[in-house]
Amino acid sequence: MNALRRLTALVDSCLLPTVRGRHERLPEWILRGLESGTPGAAVDGQGPAARATTEALRAALPDALAGLPGVRDPDRAGGGSAAAADLVAAGANLHLAVRPGLRADETRVFVTDLQTHGVAAALGPFTAAGSLRPFAEGAAAGVRAITAGHAPVPGDEQLPAMLSTRAVTGVLRGELGYGGVVLSDTLDAPAIVDGWGVPGAAVLAWIAGVDLVRLGPSSGAGVRDAIHAAAARAVADGDLPQWRLEEAAERVARLRRWASEPRMPAAEPARAAGAG
């Protein structure tokens, strides 16, 4: 593989696009990305439409990461096992919205129950502010992913956490000792688009220590191409070391392998229970 093709594959393997859950066929640009190394997609939708989208994703890439937010309400009734059952029924293997628990040990229990049933948890948003206890609990419980959020980090020139080396590499990796995948929040938030643009924000996120950059539902082929061009420039200029992308791609590959392994079945989803 020549250097340009290698870089293209590395960038694709560190992107998680979002697909609107209303089509049984994935957009062509996402299919091309999956062929190049994209590990899966987030699904923007619920119900039968979301299930049809996850099935299309698995038809294209059987071991894909298929991410959905939890489908229950905020009181967490039913716990991680029930949330896992809902997501498995929807064809998902990545819970994109596991909120930090307010009570001691709440995060650990929910994450453990969810992941026991084969659904990877993405805990967040992490902002490096406020209580770090839930994230320390999650890290100790082996949480597979932590989402770095949009909120600015105090004392770091008001950079969003997902673009802050201090937040991701310093606090999350360093102080908390977290070694799993760091996922960015979606890059289509107005403050991100207006401040850095999606391609620039993707590069800054990788520099900060993020592994998997999440594209919002408004992103398309043009955004993907612009991210590739921005990453190539940053690597050529020495701002984004290629080893950083290689490290990120390896972490994402480990997550994908974990999420594709069979686990014990989750309990049947309870209709009236609340979510995590």
Chain segment 174-194, per-residue pLDDT in tens: 999 999 999 999 999 999 999
Amino acid at 112: T
Residues 6+ apart with CB under 8 A from 49: 21, 22
Closest listed residue to residue 83, CA positions, set 110, 50, 45: 110
- Is pLDDT at 73 greater than 90 in this prediction? no
Closest listed residue to residue 105, CA positions, set 142, 138, 150, 66: 138
> For residue 267, what pLDDT is reported?
56
> For residue 271, what pLDDT is reported?
39
- Is pLDDT at 72 greater than 60 in this prediction? no
Q: Tell me: the pLDDT tens digits for 164-176?
A: 999 999 999 999 9
Six-digit token string for 72: 């229950």
Amino acid at 210: V
- Is pLDDT at 272 greater than 60 in this prediction? no
> For residue 276, what pLDDT is reported?
41
- pTM summary value: 0.93
- Banded pLDDT at 154 (limits 50, 70, 90): confident
Q: Are 267 and 82 in contact (CB under 8 A)?
A: yes
Residues 6+ apart with CB under 8 A from 127: 148, 149, 151, 153, 161, 167
- Is pLDDT at 17 greater than 70 in this prediction? yes
Q: Are 66 and 92 in contact (CB under 8 A)?
A: yes
> For residue 46, what pLDDT is reported?
87
Q: Tell me: the pLDDT tens digits for 204-226?
A: 999 999 999 999 999 999 999 99
Helix (H, G, I), strand (E, B) or coil at 15: strand
What is the fold of 3-260? TIM Barrel (3.20.20)
> For residue 275, what pLDDT is reported?
34
Give CA separation, 268 vs 80, 91, 132, in Å.
12, 14, 33
> For residue 23, what pLDDT is reported?
61
DSSP labels, 227-261: HHHHHHHHHHHTSS-HHHHHHHHHHHHHHHHHHHS
- Banded pLDDT at 270 (limits 50, 70, 90): very low
| Average confidence score pLDDT of the chain | 91
> For residue 12, what pLDDT is reported?
98
> Cβ–Cβ contacts within 10 Å for residue 274, how many?
16
Helix (H, G, I), strand (E, B) or coil at 169: helix
